[in-house]
Amino acid sequence: MSFMSPAVRFQNVSRRFGSVRAVDNVSLDIEPGEFFALLGPSGSGKTTCLRLIAGFEQPDEGHIEIFGETADGVPPYRRNVNTVFQDYALFPHMTVGENVAYGLMIKGVGKAEREEKAKSALAMVKLAGYESRRTAQLSGGQRQRVALARALVNGPKVLLLDEPLGALDLKLREQMQEELKSLQTSLGITFVFVTHDQGEALSMANRVAIFNEGKIVQVGTPSDVYERPTSRFVADFVGSSNVLSPEFAATHGGRAAWTSLRPEKIQIAPQNALVPAACAHAKGIVTAISYQGAVTRITVATEKLALIATTPAGTDVRKGDSVSLIWPKSAMVAMGEGA
Amino acid sequence: MSSKANRSTPLGLRISAIAGLLFLHLPLALIFLYAFTTEEKSFEFPPPGLTTKWFGVAWSSRPDIWQPLYLSLQVAAIATVLALIFGTLAAAALSRARFFGRETISLLFVLPIALPGIITGIALRSAFDIMSIPFSVWTIILGHATFCIVVVYNNAVARFRRLNGNLVEASMDLGANSFQTFRHIILPQIGTALLAGGMLAFALSFDEVIVTTFTAGQQTTLPIWMLSELIRPRQRPVTNVVAVFVFIVTLLPILAAYYLTREGEHTGGSSK
């Protein structure tokens, strides 16, 4: 092989439901071994993209390739791709072990061998010994592990996860994030997951595709999309951001373009503080202070617009104070289009 | 004390409930009773004496029972099989698809059981006439299938609606084609509903009179045989013996169906 074909390739893929373009001319390469996130608000087309990879949907236009082979017209059961469903979709009339062994049973793997494989798959997701349990007896987190084992036991080339952590509580979610990451690293399988939670996408994925209204608006590493958003939508959706108008940016050390400025890049200083040469500043009055545990969010009304700054907790700024906001000019990221 | 008094049913309501039950079930008890009477020409109350000889008579010296019995079993069995196939397919299609007119089609499926049997009967009879289909066992079976399908459809559609659509996708995702998915995922979950629907359909067909009268040619099913037997003066309790038999043959499947669907609802709820 002289070149490596991408794990998943979308070429100008569109999928319409009635008059709605759920997926609108999407082109995308997901590389082998990547932990790839499809991030976007609900209805943005990310889940439809996942279903297109799984084969539950067929594109109306364009082509999809999975490891260099066309997926056009290939039904889900002939794709070497497995899915962890959002509601896990465990078979209620089967035990945990039967659930995990289902794919192998369908492939005609002998009983002893598939039980052995199901057992080790369950051990991999830390559910050793749960083979004969009923799925109704499991907690949400355990069900998800079963769903994961049921998919992975088939040795898929690509594992698809639909909002994998959506139904779990915060503590469990953080724990599963770590586990999914280490599982992905140790197995080396391409993971593609759908989420609307930007924190989840940033912390788990190698690369993120951000969807809005059926289109991909930006693809990049988590730090790419966070540090260098190319549109107001991305700047707003991934973390929170101050979006500066072209006029404001131009008069405050930036270019005459819509500009993103992350709240944590802004320092709050006394009104007459010295401004370093590499920095820009704006004066204003503190209008709101919101304590958020690790950080404090401070809203400052400047002459032109209100800016939000986050500082480590324990600031002595009070509401009504006149302050100076100082930020490095390099922290101002000009965005491509005005949208 | 007062709460207990509030919870207990008022006396008047109790009496009317008991009266209602008696009204429904006393005639049944009389049918059983007259299967044992010694008087063979009229139903005299109280019976002059009790005997079990009519069971023997029905079994050994009335060959005219066997042909209608065999026909009724045959019709019920074939109509039930047809209903299971078409009722399940219809339920699968209508519970999955969302399209304009879906509710109307659903209603059209259920209509034959809501319509008076006489309408179904006349409609079928004229349809068979127009198409020059001679009346035979098969016209009876087709007539029965119209309402048997409804019973299976109703049972199956309720279960299909509870079936999580993701399970089908999960099965296909794990490599199963449509047939394997039906065999391993759908059938185990709708199985009890189908069994219950099938049993109800069998029971309905087995004692059907009206549609049968319109769609039968020279054939006599067991209920029709009973009807004609009432006019004859001879060996009346034999009819009652057959009635007891019909009662058991239809009651058992209905009871079984009741328990099967009840259990199904139970497990359906607990898996949530």
User: Looking at the structure, do residues A90 and A137 belong to the same domain, yes or no?
Assistant: yes
Out of A188, A208, A236, pick the residue that ends a domain: A236
Domain count for chain A, please give it.
2
| Interface confidence (ipTM) of the complex | 0.82
User: Which CATH number fits the domain that encloses residue B242?
Assistant: 1.10.3720.10
User: Looking at the structure, do residues A34 and A116 belong to the same domain, yes or no?
Assistant: yes
> From the list B166, B170, B188, which residue is nearest A93 (CB)?
B188
Q: Is B33 part of a structural domain of the chain?
A: yes
User: Looking at the structure, do residues A134 and A48 belong to the same domain, yes or no?
Assistant: yes
CB contact under 8 A, B171 and A85: no
What is the pLDDT at residue A277? 86
Q: What is the pLDDT of residues B176-204, one digit of tens each?
A: 999 999 999 998 888 888 988 998 899 88
User: Looking at the structure, do residues A174 and A38 belong to the same domain, yes or no?
Assistant: yes
User: Looking at the structure, do residues B136 and B183 belong to the same domain, yes or no?
Assistant: yes
User: Looking at the structure, do residues B112 and B215 belong to the same domain, yes or no?
Assistant: yes
Average pLDDT, chain A: 90
Is B183 within 8 Å of chain A by CB? no
Q: pTM for the complete prediction?
A: 0.76
User: Looking at the structure, do residues B47 and B73 belong to the same domain, yes or no?
Assistant: no
User: Looking at the structure, do residues B75 and B40 belong to the same domain, yes or no?
Assistant: no
User: Which CATH number fits the domain that encloses residue A128?
Assistant: 3.40.50.300
The distance of A209 to chain B (nearest Cα, Å) reads 24
User: Looking at the structure, do residues A172 and A276 belong to the same domain, yes or no?
Assistant: no
Chain B interface disruption, residue of A91, A105, A163, most B CBs within 10 A:
A91
Domain count for chain B, please give it.
2
Angle at A89 between CA A83 and CA A91, to 5 degrees: 120
Chain A residues 55-94 with CB within 8 Å of chain B: 55-56, 75-77, 81-83, 85, 87, 89-93
Q: What is the pLDDT of residues A82-122, one digit of tens each?
A: 999 998 999 999 999 999 999 999 999 999 999 999 999 99
Q: Is B6 part of a structural domain of the chain?
A: no
Note down the domain range covering B34. 11-51
Q: Is A27 part of a structural domain of the chain?
A: yes
Out of A218, A236, A254, pick the residue that ends a domain: A236
Note down the domain range covering A294. 244-334
User: Looking at the structure, do residues A145 and A111 belong to the same domain, yes or no?
Assistant: yes
Of A45 and B46, the one with more pLDDT: A45
Q: Give the number of other Cβ atoms within 10 Å of residue A312's Cβ.
A: 9
Q: What is the pLDDT of residues A181-220, one digit of tens each?
A: 999 999 999 999 999 988 889 989 999 999 999 999 999 9
User: Looking at the structure, do residues B87 and B153 belong to the same domain, yes or no?
Assistant: yes
Q: Is A173 part of a structural domain of the chain?
A: yes
Rg of chain A in Å (alpha carbons): 24
Contacts of B171 in chain A (CB under 8 A): 91, 102
Name the token pair of B157: 């559609």
The distance of A294 to chain B (nearest Cα, Å) reads 38
What is the pLDDT at residue B74? 93
CB contact under 8 A, B177 and A75: yes
User: Looking at the structure, do residues A208 and A287 belong to the same domain, yes or no?
Assistant: no
Is A231:A217 a contact under the CB 8 Å cutoff?
yes
Out of A180, A215, A236, pick the residue that ends a domain: A236
**Cα–Cα dist B203/B249, whole Å:** 7
User: Looking at the structure, do residues A181 and A313 belong to the same domain, yes or no?
Assistant: no
Looking at beta carbons, which pairs linking B157-161 to residues 24 or more positions away fall under 8 Å?
B157/B90, B157/B91, B157/B94, B157/B95, B157/B106, B158/B193, B159/B189, B159/B190, B159/B192, B159/B193, B159/B264, B159/B268, B160/B91, B160/B92, B160/B95, B160/B96, B160/B190, B161/B95
Token look-up 């005005």 returns: A338
User: Looking at the structure, do residues B43 and B171 belong to the same domain, yes or no?
Assistant: no
Q: Is A288 part of a structural domain of the chain?
A: yes
Q: Is A328 part of a structural domain of the chain?
A: yes
Contacts of B174 in chain A (CB under 8 A): 77, 82, 102-103, 106, 150-151, 154
Q: Is B144 part of a structural domain of the chain?
A: yes
For residue B178, give the chain A residue with the closest CA.
A77
User: Looking at the structure, do residues B143 and B249 belong to the same domain, yes or no?
Assistant: yes
What is the pLDDT at residue B268? 38
User: Looking at the structure, do residues A68 and A154 belong to the same domain, yes or no?
Assistant: yes
User: Looking at the structure, do residues A222 and A324 belong to the same domain, yes or no?
Assistant: no
Chain A interface disruption, residue of B174, B181, B183, B185, most A CBs within 10 A:
B174
Q: Which residues pair with A220 in a beta bridge?
A: A208
What order of strands is seen across the sheet that includes strand A207-212? A81-84, A158-162, A190-195, A35-39, A207-212, A215-220
User: Looking at the structure, do residues B246 and B112 belong to the same domain, yes or no?
Assistant: yes
